[in-house]
């Protein structure tokens, strides 16, 4: 397929182009577009053939549900029933604080939403994204849009233009390019269908922040930390190896020292903070920024995975971060991408 590629300025989106693309999106074509989290691969949520195509293009397992993206809070009523474990007033209040933005809520699915959208589950995931291009595109399409990350299944999510071109060029009708995605990690997924709110996937909105806004506890199941011990996946997507670079990734939780590096027989490339890099001058490194700059770590993580793949290293070594704030989301991705973990605390 000849993919039509357009560069869209987020500060001043070309509405003539977006109108044409939105019309085709509504008709059932697939469109790759930027969001504030990562690039998404979109299809009309109410077009079953288009939803099916998403699974084919990504090579996504059929039991891994999709997130429905909407362009106003009011559109939520078309997709979901009720407000789960929160009172309608409280739910409304948190929506007004967090939407548009990088949080996805799981609620009961309305009967007319095609079951393929949520892999047959009675629940559905919904998000109102903040990126101006995403918002305008969904608004012009006039339909909710399902959009997983625009990578081939299992690969690191795309956060740069070149990543979407690597994975999606020739497979979809349109690719919209707007530079780097601002946050770099997928949305926080909050399940409201259990007896109290719980995190299924940590993301840019931290658990601390959610607890503060909700005024209640928010459960973090072990699997949301990205540890592989969980036997029963809470969220269907959790059982797959994810975000994985093509080379083995060794995650070091705790201090990444020269002693650890000396013991590795393979040629390596290290993804780490600038402080750690300055202690490991003999080794090639890819740096996200300062150790405490978790925002930079989140924004660059997937991009550094792809950069590391392209080096001649046999193994990627990654430095872990503290599991606070955004650090929980960064560690979730690192642990799930890792083929081995060393604990050095
Ligand atoms: P992705 O589209 O790749 O960002 O992944 C979306 C993720 O959201 C899935 O992998 C699930 O973990 C989660 N998700 C989506 N819908 C549901 C649902 N109905 N119930 C539980 N988790 C869901
Ligand atoms: Mg994904």
- Asked if pLDDT for residue 235 goes beyond 70, the answer is no
- Spatial distance between the Cα atoms of 20 and 23, rounded to a whole number of angstroms: 5
User: 29: closest CA among 10, 60, 4?
Assistant: 4
Distance 151 CA to ligand 2 centre (A): 7
User: 226: closest CA among 329, 345, 342, 105?
Assistant: 329
Distant-in-sequence, close-in-space partners of 160: CB < 8 Å, separation ≥ 6 = 179, 180, 181, 303, 306
- Asked if pLDDT for residue 229 goes beyond 90, the answer is no
Q: 116-125, 172-181, 239-248, 300-309: lowest mean pLDDT where?
A: 239-248
- Spatial distance between the Cα atoms of 206 and 127, rounded to a whole number of angstroms: 16
The DSSP code for 237 is G
Q: Report the atom number in ligand 1 closest to the C-alpha of 191.
A: 21
Question: What is the per-residue burial (b if ≥16 Cβ within 10 Å, else e) of 268-280?
Answer: bbbbbbeebbeeb
Residue 243's pLDDT band, with cuts at 50, 70 and 90, is confident
pLDDT, tens only, 101-153: 999 999 999 999 999 999 999 999 999 999 999 999 999 999 999 999 999 99
DSSP 55-86: HHHHT--TTS--EEE-SSGGGGGGTEES-TTS
pLDDT averaged over the chain?
Answer: 95
pLDDT, tens only, 2-11: 999 999 999 9
- Asked if pLDDT for residue 236 goes beyond 70, the answer is no
pLDDT at residue 242, as a whole number: 76
Residue 240's pLDDT band, with cuts at 50, 70 and 90, is low
Which pair of tokens denotes residue 98?
């967090």
Distance 32 CA to ligand 2 centre (A): 13
Distance 130 CA to ligand 2 centre (A): 18
Residue 241: count of CB within 10 angstroms of its CB: 12
pLDDT at residue 227, as a whole number: 84
Same fold flag, 4-214 and 249-344: no
Q: Is the CB of 134 under 6 A from ligand 1?
A: no
Which pair of tokens denotes residue 200?
């299924």
Q: Domain extents for the chain?
A: 4-214, 249-344
pLDDT at residue 162, as a whole number: 98
Q: Report the atom number in ligand 1 closest to the C-alpha of 123.
A: 19
- Spatial distance between the Cα atoms of 343 and 302, rounded to a whole number of angstroms: 22
The domain defined by 4-214 carries CATH number 3.90.870.10: yes
The domain defined by 249-344 carries CATH number 3.30.1220.10: no
């Amino acid at each position: 397929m000849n993919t039509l590629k357009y560069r869209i300025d987020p500060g001043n989106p070309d509405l003539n182009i977006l109108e044409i693309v939105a019309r085709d999106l509504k008709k059932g074509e697939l469109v790759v577009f930027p969001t504030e989290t990562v690039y998404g691969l979109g299809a009309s949520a109410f077009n079953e053939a288009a939803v099916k195509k998403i699974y084919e293009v990504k090579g996504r397992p059929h039991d891994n549900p999709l997130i429905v993206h909407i362009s106003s809070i009011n559109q939520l009523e078309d997709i979901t029933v009720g407000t789960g474990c929160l009172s309608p007033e409280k739910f409304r209040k948190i929506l007004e604080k967090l939407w548009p933005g990088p949080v996805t809520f799981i609620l009961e699915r309305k009967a007319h939403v095609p079951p393929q959208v949520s892999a047959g589950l009675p629940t559905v995931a919904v998000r109102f994204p903040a990126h101006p291009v995403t918002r305008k595109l969904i608004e012009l399409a006039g339909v909710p849009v399902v959009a997983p990350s625009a990578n081939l299944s299992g690969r690191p999510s795309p956060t740069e233009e070149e990543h979407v071109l690597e994975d999606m060029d020739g497979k979809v009708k349109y690719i919209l390019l707007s530079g780097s995605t601002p946050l770099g990690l997928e949305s926080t997924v909050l399940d409201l269908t259990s007896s109290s709110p719980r995190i299924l996937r940590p993301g840019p909105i931290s658990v601390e922040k959610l607890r503060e806004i909700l005024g209640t506890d928010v459960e973090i199941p072990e699997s949301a930390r990205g540890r592989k011990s969980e036997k029963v996946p809470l969220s269907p997507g959790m059982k797959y190896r994810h975000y994985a670079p093509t080379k083995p990734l060794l995650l070091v939780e705790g201090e990444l020292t020269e002693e650890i590096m000396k013991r590795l027989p393979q040629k390596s490339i290290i993804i780490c903070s600038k402080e750690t890099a300055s202690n490991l001058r003999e080794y090639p490194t890819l740096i996200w920024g300062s150790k405490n700059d978790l925002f930079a770590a989140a924004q660059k993580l997937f991009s550094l995975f792809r950069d590391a793949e392209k080096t001649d290293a046999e193994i990627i070594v990654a430095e872990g971060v503290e599991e606070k704030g955004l650090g929980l989301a960064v560690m979730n991705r690192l642990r799930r991408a890792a083929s081995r973990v060393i604990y050095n605390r």
